[in-house]
Structure 1
Amino acid sequence: MKIGLAAMSASLMALAVAQGALAQTAAPTGKPDDDKGIADIVVTATRQATNMQDTPIAITAVTAQTLETRGLKSTADLSNIVPNATFRRVQGAFGPGVSAFIRGIGQSDTSLGNEPAVAYYVDDIYYPLLLGSNFDLLDLDHIEVLRGPQGTLFGRNALAGAINIVSKQPSLTDSSGYVQATTGSYNRRDFRAGFNVALTETLGVSLSGLSKYRDGYQKLLDFRCQMIKNGTPQLAGTLPFTDAINTPSLNASPSNCTVGRLGGEDVRAGRGTILWKPASNIKLTINGDYTRDRSPNPADQLITVTGPGGVNVQSETNYFGVAYDKRFVTGNPYTAYATYSDPVGSGVVIPAYAANAAYPGSPATPANTFYNGFGPQRGGARFPYTPSVVNWGVSGKLVVGVTDSIDLTGIVGYRKLIDTHGFDVDNSPITLEHTLLHIGEDYKTAELRASGKSSLIDWVVGGFYFKGSGYTHAITYSPQSAVYKVQAISYDPQSKAVYANITVKPFARLDITAGGRYSDDSKYVDYSNDADTNVGNTIFQVKPHAKRFDWKFGADYHLTDATLVYASASTGARLPGYNARPQQQTQVGSYPGDETLAYELGFKTDLFDHHLRLNAAGFYTDYKTRVTGVNGAEANVQLTGSPTPGTCVLIPLPSGGPGATQCRSTPYNAATDGPNNLAGGIGITSIPRTYYVNTPGKVKGFELEAEAHPIDNLALNAAVGYSHFDSPDLKLATRANDRLAGIPEINASAGIQYTIPVSSLGGTVSPRLDWFYTGSITESSARNDYNQPAYSTFNLRVTYTNEKHKFTVAAGATNLFSKLYYRNFFVYQDIGFPNVNAQPAPPREWFLEVGKRF
């Protein structure tokens, strides 16, 4: 395979040089005048406006039109078309956010304790969170996905790369407007509208807004109601109805047991921009945006149940006359029995029970240790499954042309996020664990930079300042672990940095680039995690802090006017973090940040008079410091009273890698403890714990992107990415899988569109078909029962465009063949729970869209 790839790369390079030589005599650099070639895209990846094809960085730039025609609606959909990138709406435990990975490096956890490895920028304003990062593409011009590290120019947490979202600017010459309405599956109702007004020759304003609504594609079923409907009421024991309206009468029983839906959408958003250009060398842009998201939690399916759960779960199921088993697995990915509430009433005392007959050999259960003897806060709790998210911000950008070749740019911004969301760990009518979180952060950013261009040197120097204030107020309500705790966390990050990037042009066609950034980052954390029994409270203050210097060196050479080759080496870092979910004092701790050294070699070329574009890059990343969390368990100090913090017996945790341990009240004894199941906490009441260990590694791979307009009206595109992570911890004998969990090694896409002039309709009809491929995904390091095979999905869109009257009508479908696949898996068995959950993606969804421009 390697020989084949090398041969293919050599052939493509030879073709690029040959065609580029023709281009030197046949046509100048740039898009052909007939407007039938591939359009150039101007990017700001180097903090200066450059043609993407002349920028020596691996970039995927996606225009707003491309996103629309391929059926992509938000940043979470980008991984469909960006090679070696995985962006996904995270499962409900992590709230309304997006996991982000580029070239095998990234982050899924949205808590404020973990720093993301992918840096988001929205119109030059740094967005520091994965929470709330599922941006709708409102008034978008284009998105730049920059492979990392991007530590010298984008700085903070750009270890894996950066997402640069660039909005449209108001026009100072034309006034225009648009409206768009979409209907479709699951009662979809989307509306978008906007306008641009050129108030004067120097002042322009644009405003846009959207409203999106769609019912959830997964039904929440009333378990007792459904068992009656199925003719198996005995399986419900004495579990209550989720909704009392489903109570049957003498002559009627419920025919529809649906009590709610997950996986829907309910979003309102608006955006406004003012552009003032009082002189040819002065430009001021002011942006404001607001998003209110009330979308229900993602669809979540209970995949499997193994064993009866913990002692408290057994006592609860015995109390209701049921067993925690496959009866709670619907077998249909688009239905679930989640209640987001506790069926045990407030103040209920659950007595001891004999062994559960449903599980031969199971022990008798003692009196429940979660509800009994505690106040009315135990029992009857209800949590919302519809998050409440408000995300807004304002920013200003002033650009002053000091001379014809030197610009001074100042940027200031303020953003605020407020989120409340709840989560049901297992989506069953029995309570294993529920969480409720209220999270907020507001922050201010400022950046000042100067840049210049000349025939000999291009340069950028600047300073960056970031200061935030965040908080988390959370409830952990867990009969499974006998834990009821209230978290209150304040989080105050601060970042200061200076940077410089210089490109020297010593010879014609040759550029040499050097860059550096010095940064000083810290965050003060004040944490309390209080048990309602006042035993085992966890209170601490930590201040993770890092000062570092990142650098980049590179060179690029134009083999021809249309072909660029480049090579670079650069460092990157992710900031230190802390354990955001300690359940007792033994779990308090912070950990250092990550750091990498990355090498990249690539080429970019436009061939056949700009009718074929090929961009390719190969990379090798030395992941020198990689701090990972390892799932384990330890003694519940609150219940056992021993071991006290600092005195527990630490024994190796084989699945955790070097240094990972587990806290037990006594050393493991095979004669008395039975099978060596460390993760289950033999002989003690255990609670989950995350252990942080350094697991360095190497990442290598490539990306290839191609776009072609071989004949008039025909457009083709294709992309493929491959990245392989090699680390000692992935080769431990105790691991079931030797790959990173949650991301594929290969992704690919391809599309075809043909525009057909139809004179009888006074316009054109453009059918388009897109194919998206995701390679196999490992979902757990400890087991391979739930690995997801590779899968393909297809999107279809047919668009009618009438240029005379400026309107469009489009119809089509996403996931055309209704492929069942999962966005995420959560193998809770790895942390001591008896269940595995997964988040099914939507089945086929059709749509009809009408738009009008003015």
Structure 2
Amino acid sequence: MRTPNFKKKTLVLAVAAGSLLAADLAISEAVLEEVIVTATRRSASVQDVPYNISAVSGDFLDKANVNGLGDLAKLVPGLTFNDRGSRSQMFSSGIIMRGMNTDRLARINAPLATVSPVSTYIGETPVFVNLDLMDLDRVEVLRGPQGTLYGSGSLGGTIRYIPNEPSLDGFAGEIQGGASEFEDASDPNYRFKGMVNIPITDSVALRLNGKYEDEAGFIDMPNLYSIQNGVVENANPDDFLGGEGVKRSKDDVNNNDVRTFRAALKYEPSDTVKSVLSYYYQSNESDGANIESYTFYGEGSGKSADYLASDYDGDMNIYAAEIEVDMGFATLVSSTSYADVSSDASGDVTGLYENFTWHSSYYGDYPRRLFSSKSSYDDETFTQEIRLVSNGEGAIDWVVGAFYSHNELDTAYEDKNLGSRVWHEACVEDNGATFDGDCGAPHLYPEYETANGVTVKEDLMYLSNAQSEFDDLALFGELTYHVTEQWQVTGGFRAFTQDYENNTQAGVMLDVSVFPWQPADDPFAAIGAYSENSDDDDILYKANTSYDLTDDMMAYATYSEGFRRGGANAIAPGGAEDLRAYDPDKTTNYEIGVKGSISDRVTYTAAIYYIDWEDIQLNKNCWPNFGLCVINAGDAESQGVETEISAQLTDSFRLDFGYTYSDASITDSEDSTIPDDKDLPGVPEHSGNATLWYETITSSGWDVTFMLNSSYRSESDSQAVEAYDVEIDSYWLWDTSLAVGIDNWTGRLFVNNIGDEEGYMSAYSTQNVSGHWGERAYALRGKPREIGFDVTYRF
């Protein structure tokens, strides 16, 4: 039986807008902005690309006060982002497109073994980070598999962040500062950013930008243990065996500090040669996560029942070189990059361990139980792509290229029951003289080196260390034949070979009295070192055709394939040797759609799609060592409808609207915990957004921009395992802003989440069974109401 739904809440919004201006200086014959994209590896208007793509310009991002993926998802139809907060954004994307997801979205600490089913690019670099959206030319959201041009990971779609290049046209700059406050937060939020563009010579320009954001927390922790010398402080020092832990309270723990910097140097000696060197840095630091103990304290409490305040520290460094040479018949493009994304995180997993059936017999009556988890993640990737893109106005266009990537990923995860070894030994020595409780099983030891070379630290309960290397070599191409001026046909392929190696050390500190397979003469035998390799070779295909029904209306049809790389588990799941390696999962997409414009004042896109997802990858903790592993869990399908409309209603009013219907479910499960027809987690059946704009210039020269945005997502499941699934309720979010500007100055007032909607995104089950959190289960919640302002000066 499904865990009961969260209570549905009614959102009542009253927006009173008086007279915004005394006189309206109408902009004659206002038309919609045309956004030029390079999704097909050649420049084209977004309305001329013959498949479903959204593009958001940098100017639009600024006007809409978009700072991250969470803000972007409110504006782009079909883009679902389950925001886990700062602490996990570097290694768990939370992005879902066209229903492609199988993972538990409430996971906030441990890294996942699989890559995201939505590929993301920063410039030409394939890497995920919840990028702070600063100084971008545009964001392109490509729906559906993009395997031929964008390779591994593009099962459900691709997101491309395109930064602004340095400009040779002149010196320019921008400075912005602002402040805001969350509902019920004790401290304000601050945000400062700046950009400067410096032409050095006629052919060389430098662009620098940076940002600092101090975002206050809004989750309180009334139940924290006080930690001294690495263990819980004893409230009664005279009673070492029976004394309870000292507790304290801390408010607003999930604060978040973000630092971002980018430097780009452009060299353009002629109209035919251009190169851009860039460096991108972003760091995130947080003392907690946006988790709420919805059963322990109640829904909407804004409180966490954790005993330990968690922290997170993540860094991203990207070095990139992009070179373009116009050779006349074609343009040669070389893209080279090195990306290093790393993080360290800690957290409280006491609620998890307390619900294991063997917990009491194993740990006895230790009164100051605190299971802490620590994880680290270091992901380094070198990427080189060379492609040749045809020029000219002939009947045939083509793109050919070669791609190479080398990835090294190190992950480490460990759980400890702090202070339990010393307590157990003291309890045994006491022998009931002063303490009549259970001393537990003799299983924890001081630091110890196993025969496999694995270091077991004091109080360690569980560890998992993994080192992997991945190589990807591919050739790709697309060819378009313009049969007539109205009709084109495109075919594409990507042929790749991949090699993967995984070395893992993992295990649980187990006692033979509890786990009979544990050898009595070696308490650490369950910790082992394992290695496994895998390799894959395949060819992906794409077919697309479009026909211009009129000068302003296009119909198209697409067949495309996407894939996500396979890998090796090292540890055999459940002891099954044939599961040491797992296969790539693959999507096959069938899509038809129409797109067009009406009198340059309305643009529209509508698409119907069906995706067959084979050999879906599922992250699990595998028996008997509980190490993180991946299995191919069967097949799934997703089908839906996507619509997007922008309308310039009058010279001053504009309306953007989008709606997505998605039906995504397991069709043939190969995992006993997941039934057929189970809905894929994190996928709302209905989602939509609408944004109303009002822009004008007053008779006195003031620019006025008003925005009202509404976004909606319907109910969704939290995980694929039916027995522990939690249904997450639907919610509406409303944002608004009013900006006025004159000359070089702009000031803006804004309110995000006007109705202070809790907006749960995922949750753990409250069931009191092994491996689940019971009454200490938590839910991921969105940000509360935020009211603020910012001021911008451009020069």
Quick check: TM above 0.5?
yes
Contact kept, 8 Å, 2:713 with 2:731, in 1: the verdict is: yes
Partner of residue 136, structure 1: 132
Which stretch shows the higher mean deviation, 446-455 or 546-555? 446-455
Equivalent residues of 2:663, 2:685 under 8 A apart: yes
- Structure 2 equivalent of residue 818 of structure 1: 756
Q: Would the alpha carbon gap of residues 418 and 82 (structure 1) be closer, same or farther in structure 2, given more than 3 Å must change?
A: same
**Cα offsets for 1:520-573 (capped at 9, x unmatched):** 112211111255642211321112321110000111111222211111111221
Is it true that 1:259 corresponds to 2:246 in the alignment?
no
CA distance in 2, matches of 1:66, 1:55: 20
Q: State the partner residue of 1:116.
A: 116
The amino acid across from 1:535 in the alignment is A
SS at match of 1:289: strand
Are 2:104 and 1:163 equivalent residues in the alignment?
Answer: no
Distance 1:449 1:94, change over 3 A: same
Residue 474 of structure 1: which of 413, 418, 421 is its match? 413
Deviation for aligned residue 1:413:
0.7
1:189 aligns with 2:129: no
Q: Is the 8 A contact 2:87 2:286 kept in 1?
A: no
Report if aligned partners of 1:426, 1:837 keep a CA contact under 8 Å in 2.
no
Superposed CA deviations along residues 242-286 of structure 1, whole A, max 9, x for unmatched, are 35xxxxxxxxxxxxxx32533322011100111111011001111
CA distance in 1, matches of 2:267, 2:75: 35
In the alignment, the residues of structure 2 paired with residue 602 and residue 303 of structure 1 have an alpha-carbon distance, to the nearest angstrom, of 42
In the alignment, structure 1 residue 489 sits paired with structure 2 residue 466: yes
Q: Which residue of 1 aligns with 2:424?
A: none
User: Which runs of no fewer than 5 residues in structure 1 stay unpaired?
Assistant: 1-32, 226-236, 244-257, 305-325, 341-383, 638-686
Larger deviation: 763-772 or 508-517?
A: 763-772
What is the DSSP-based 3-state SS (H/G/I as helix, E as strand, rest coil) of the residue aligned with 1:53?
helix
Determine if contact 1:538/1:585 at 8 Å carries over to the other structure.
no
Q: 2:694 maps to what in 1?
A: 754
Name 1:415's counterpart in structure 2: 339
Post-superposition offset of 1:517: 0.6
Is it true that 1:439 corresponds to 2:377 in the alignment? yes
Q: CA deviation at 1:155?
A: 1.0
User: 1:58 pairs with 52, 64, 67, which one?
Assistant: 52
What corresponds to 1:337 in structure 2?
305
Tell me, yes or no, if the aligned pair for 1:149 and 1:598 is still in contact at 8 Å. Answer: yes
Match of 2:480 in 1: 503
1:799 maps to amino acid: A
Between the aligned partners of 1:239 and 1:823, the Cα distance in structure 2 is 35
Find the counterpart in structure 2 of residue 460 from structure 1.
399
The AA in structure 2 aligned to 1:841 is G
Deviation digits for residues 617-662 of structure 1 (CA, Å, limit 9, x no counterpart): 111112233233578x86x68xxxxxxxxxxxxxxxxxxxxxxxxx
Distance 2:485 2:759 in 1: 51
Q: Tell me, what secondary structure is at the counterpart of 1:66?
A: helix
In the alignment, structure 1 residue 792 sits paired with structure 2 residue 724 = no
8 A contact 2:311–2:347 mirrored in 1: no
| Change in 2 beyond 3 A, CA 1:459/1:809 | same
- Say if 2:314 is the partner of 1:389: yes
Q: 1:845 aligns with which of 771, 781, 786?
A: 786
TM-score (norm 1): 0.74
Structure of higher RCO (CA pairs closer than 8 Å, 6+ residues apart): 2
Secondary structure of the 2:72 match is helix
Size of the aligned set, in residue pairs, is 671
Distance 1:779 1:581 in 2: 27
3-state secondary structure, aligned to 1:819: coil
**1:561 maps to which of 536, 551, 555:** 551
Q: Compared with structure 1, are the counterparts of its residues 430 and 36 closer, same or farther at alpha carbon in structure 2 (3 Å cutoff)?
A: farther
Q: What's the secondary structure of 2:60's corresponding residue?
A: helix
Match of 2:615 in 1: 625
Question: What secondary structure, in the 3-state scheme, does the structure 2 residue paired with 1:152 have?
Answer: helix
Cα distance, 1:765 vs structure 2? 2.3
Q: Tell me how far apart the structure 2 counterparts of residues 189 and 154 of structure 1 sit (CA, whole Å).
A: 37
Q: For residues 430 and 744 of structure 1, do their structure 2 counterparts lie closer, same or farther at Cα, with a shift above 3 Å needed?
A: farther
User: Identity of aligned pairs, percent?
Assistant: 22
Deviations along 1:219-254, one digit per CA (max 9) or x if unpaired, are 1224689xxxxxxxxxxx9532235xxxxxxxxxxx
Mean alpha-carbon deviation: is it higher for 330-339 or for 483-492?
330-339
Equivalent residues of 2:179, 2:788 under 8 A apart: yes
2:77 matched residue in structure 1: 83
Answering whether residue 546 of structure 2 is matched by residue 576 of structure 1, we say: no
Q: Is the 8 A contact 1:735 1:783 kept in 2?
A: no
- 2:31 matched to which residue of 1? 37
Query: In the alignment, residue 123 of structure 2 is paired with which amino acid?
Result: D
1:683-732: CA deviation from partner (whole Å, max 9, x where unpaired): xxxx7997834321221111100001121111111001111124335899
| Partner secondary structure for residue 73 of structure 2 | helix
Structure 1 residues 831 and 151, CA gap change in structure 2 (3 angstroms) = farther
The letter for the 2-side match of 1:511 is Q
Counterpart of 1:14 in structure 2 is: none
CA contact (8 A) 1:538 1:584 kept: no
1:611 aligns with 2:601: yes
Tell me the distance in 2 between the aligned counterparts of 1:335 and 1:706: 40
| Deviation (angstroms), 1:734 | 8.0
Alpha-carbon distance change, 430 to 600 in structure 1, aligned in 2, over 3 angstroms = farther
Q: CA deviation at 1:754?
A: 1.0
Aligned-partner SS, 1:766: strand
Equivalent-residue separation in structure 1 for 2:508 and 2:637 (angstroms): 42
Alignment of 1:300-379 (within 5 A): 300-304=291-295, 326=296, 329=297, 332-340=300-308
Q: Return the letter of the residue paired with 1:100.
A: I
Question: Matches of residues 390-789 of structure 1 in structure 2 within 5 Å?
Answer: 390-403=315-328, 405-425=329-349, 431=369, 433-453=371-391, 454-477=393-416, 484-529=461-506, 533-579=523-569, 589-608=580-599, 610-629=600-619, 692-729=631-668, 738-760=678-700, 762-780=701-719, 781-783=721-723, 786-789=726-729
CA offsets 1:150-188 (integer angstroms, 9 cap, x no match): 010111221111111101111111211000001010411
Is contact 1:408–1:450 with CA below 8 Å preserved after alignment?
yes
Matching residue within 266, 269, 272 for 2:260: 269
Opposite residue 837 of structure 1, the aligned amino acid is Y
CA offset at residue 72 of structure 1? 2.8
Question: Does the CA-based 8 Å contact 2:66-2:133 persist in structure 1?
Answer: no
- 1:516 and 1:689 map into 2 onto residues whose CA distance is 33
Q: What CA distance in whole angstroms lies between the structure 2 residues aligned with 1:581 and 1:272?
A: 43
Q: Counterpart of 1:293?
A: 284
Q: 1:581 to 1:36 in 2, by over 3 A?
A: farther
**Partner Cα distance (2:722, 2:780) in 1:** 20
> What's the CA shift for 1:198?
1.8
- Is the 2:729–2:760 contact (alpha carbons within 8 Å) kept by the matching residues of 1? no
Q: Are 1:302 and 1:427, in contact at CA under 8 Å, matched by a contact in 2?
A: no
Distance 1:111 1:517, change over 3 A: same
- Relative to 1, partners in 2 of residues 1:834 and 1:508: Cα closer, same or farther, differing over 3 Å? closer
Cα displacement (A) at 1:84: 2.2
Question: Within 1, Cα distance between the matches of 2:66 and 2:350?
Answer: 30
> Structure 1 or 2: larger helix share?
1
User: Aligned-pair RMSD on alpha carbons?
Assistant: 3.0
Please tell me whether the aligned partners of residues 89 and 130 of structure 2 are also in contact (alpha carbons under 8 angstroms). Answer: no
Q: 1:34 to 1:625 in 2, by over 3 A?
A: farther
Q: Which of 43, 46, 52 is the aligned partner of 1:49?
A: 43
State the partner residue of 1:659.
none
- Indicate the SS of the match to 1:77: helix
Residues of 2 paired with 1:846 and 1:430: CA distance? 41
Q: 1:93 to 1:71 in 2, by over 3 A?
A: closer
Label 1:421 to 1:688 Cα distance change in 2 as closer, same or farther (>3 A).
closer
CA distance in 1, matches of 2:335, 2:288: 35
Cα 1:561/1:239, change in 2 over 3 Å = farther
Provide the secondary structure at the position in 1 that maps to 2:381.
Answer: strand
Corresponding residue for residue 21 of structure 2: none
